[in-house]
A and B are shown apart, each in its own frame.
Chain A
Amino acid sequence: MAVVEFKGKKFEVDEDGFLQRFDDWNPEWVEYVKESEGIKELTDNHQKVIEFLQDYYKKNGIAPMVRILSKVTGFKLKEIYELFPSGPGKGACKMAGLPKPTGCV
């Protein structure tokens, strides 16, 4: 597995650039990933999505369904793509440090 270094922090990641361990997440991770996910400036709205994903994951052990993400954050799917161009799975979940989405993707 590859290890990336950024601002003195080390992160173990897989080929797709997802964190291997949720516990390794810290704010530097978001800084590091944002460019590869097509994000120039991080806004409060990005933070809101990331925080909700982390919260939900800690409580439920899974990522929320898209519909729940939309309902709780108040962002329509279109707005989520405006914030995270590669979408809630590849974009937001990756930045939030959640495990890689699985299944018939």
Chain B
Amino acid sequence: MAKHKTPLLDQLESGPWPSFVSDIKQECDSRAKNAKGVDYQIPADCPDDLLGVLEMSYVDGETHWKHGGIVGVFGYGGGVIGRYCDQPQMFPGVAHFHTVRVNQPSGLYYKTDFLRQLCDLWELRGSGLTNMHGSTGDIVLLGTTTPQLEEIFFELTHNMNNDLGGSGSNLRTPSCCLGQSRCEFACIDTQQLCYDLTNTYQDELHRPAFPYKFKFKIDGCPNGCVAAIARSDFSIIGTWRDEIRIDQKVVAAYAGGEIKPNAGAHAGRDWGKFDIQKEVVERCPSGCIRYEGGKLEINNKECVRCMHCINTMPRALRIGNDRGASILCGAKAPILDGPQMSSLLVPFIKAEEPYSEIKEVIENIWDWWMEEGKNRERLGETMKRLSFQKLLDVTNIKADARHVREPRHNPYIFWKEEEVTGGWKREIADYRKKHQK
């Protein structure tokens, strides 16, 4: 028997998509039955009260969580998002409803052993509800009480060899696309790099020392499966700098209709016979492909590595062999001064263990931003305020045409004093010798 009546939420149990309401109800039932005889450390009816408070929010269209919450574990300044219900008498099961961020493995590959162990822990000490995964990448354990935080942390670290993720004004949990584990487009080992950076910068992740939050994301190629360019202050995107490898025989197989374009991604609709000229050559943003006499040619000097031709004929066209990554900086959501995607900082960098070159860029940026960034100013905003030129200076990168989409159109140009003959110190009296008042 459900604890609260939830007529509005009940409507979300119909329809074909997996219903979060049905799933939560199932967990309510499971905890009520307690077939395994678990000694629940937080109220067994926690998920019932979650449905209750959610139904209430559906009725009045307002949230029922109090503002903020500061809880955590000793030694760390983040990792747990504290939360308290604003109707604790009515919904005591969610009076405390803190969220624990747990660092996920790169690429989100799991063994059932690990997930079972995590579920056992969470069943005992939490609500039994999760988010797989938070947008930043963490495993999210959704809802527990303050006294359980150290207990959960102890078990996570001692029995599962797993750590918390990040929160607050620090390095948040890095994440990546699945990379070379099962994608032939991957130009770098995104998982290895993600894992390495996460371990290298544990201190920065667990103890907020920054003006504001800072995120790493790593895409294996410009397709951007982890959306690094839009969702990380420091975006690493794989690429290559030699030639696209073409297998002419396979090109012919595509032309002959033996292989479906885009690996069959558009098979749900009849788009007619595959036409390389129309669907590849004419779509190339650089116009650098030619298809004549059954032969496909690419002028790689003009190729911007947009991935279109490779995405369309993955079995005929492959990424080059001289691989690395581009680094872009400054992506952020709108608050405060408008949304930003990352801007190109390093056109090409090798991405090989121990990743010293990439780390040098990261640390140069941090040294600068930690000193100059204002309180709660994202890197993207610091770049706007202090200029892209300053970012180049602190990273020792020479300005290059690839740093801009187009040159400035206003003439408000600053010069460094040493660049100007004679400098800035001028005597008005000298000027007056030639120009009367």
Contacts and interface: CB of A to CB of B under 8 A. Distances in A.
Given A16-B69, A16-B71, A81-B207, A67 B371 contact: yes
B154 interface: no
Given A104-B213, A105-B167, A105-B168, A18 B70 contact: yes
Contact of A67 (B69, B203, B209): B209
A77 B75 contact: no
A66 interface: yes
B380 interface: no
Given A103-B376, A105-B167, A105-B168, A38 B71 contact: no
A102 B131 CA distance: 23
B82 interface: yes
B74 interface: yes
Majority DSSP secondary structure for residues of A touching B: loop
A65 B70 contact: no
Contact of A105 (B68, B84, B209, B371): B68
Size class of the B contact interface (CB-based, 8 Å): 20 to 34
Size class of the A contact interface (CB-based, 8 Å): 20 to 34
Contact of A100 (B70, B96, B210, B376): B70
A65 B207 contact: no
Contacts of B368: none
A96 to B, nearest CB: 14
B370 interface: yes
Given A67-B370, A67-B371, A90 B71 contact: yes
B169 interface: yes
A66 B67 contact: no
Contacts of B421: none
Nearest to A102: B68
Interface in B206-233: 207-211, 213
Contacts of B67: 102
Nearest to B81: A105
Interface of B: 66-78, 81-82, 84, 96, 167-169, 203, 207-211, 213, 370-371, 375-376
Interface of A: 15-16, 18, 38, 62, 65-67, 77-78, 81, 85-90, 94, 100-105
14 contacts: A15-B69, A15-B96, A16-B69, A65-B375, A67-B370, A67-B371, A78-B207, A86-B76, A87-B208, A89-B208, A101-B70, A103-B376, A105-B69, A105-B70
